[in-house]
Amino acid sequence: MPRKEDPLKIIKKDHKEVKALFKDYKKADQEEKASLAGQITGELLLHMEMEESLFYPEIEKVSEEGKNLIQDALKEHNEAKMHVDGVESAQDNSQRDMHMEELEKGV
């Protein structure tokens, strides 16, 4: 029987992998940045969906403090999603870079 992986370990691993992608993004040329931006935003959206659908509901059940933490996290997710939209609709490289910088701050 396959062993279930600890959700917290998965989340921590995702954060580490995305941080590495952001480092690559900073060193990349503009063409590579466009590709990496798509990869990073895709990973972030998937990660946020996993947290919101699997992890957060369980935390909310534990305590009132857990509910408050989740509300703060959801606000951060909404801000991140706004920056993902900004990356996807950026008119130029500087706009994309600005949104990517803001996304990195939240990881």
Tell me, what's the pLDDT at 4? 72
* SS3 category, 87: helix
Residues 18, 84, 36: CA angle, nearest 5 degrees: 45
Tell me, what's the pLDDT at 2? 55
Torsion angle of the four alpha carbons 31, 107, 103, 48, in this order, in degrees rounded to the nearest 10: 100
pTM of the model: 0.88
Give the DSSP per-residue string, 12-81.
HHHHHHHHHHHHHHHHS-HHHHHHHHHHHHHHHHHHHHHIIIIIHHHHHHH-HHHHHHHHHHHHHHHHHH
pLDDT, averaged per 10 consecutive residues of the chain (107 residues), comes to 71 92 97 96 94 90 89 96 98 97 94
Tell me, what's the pLDDT at 36? 97
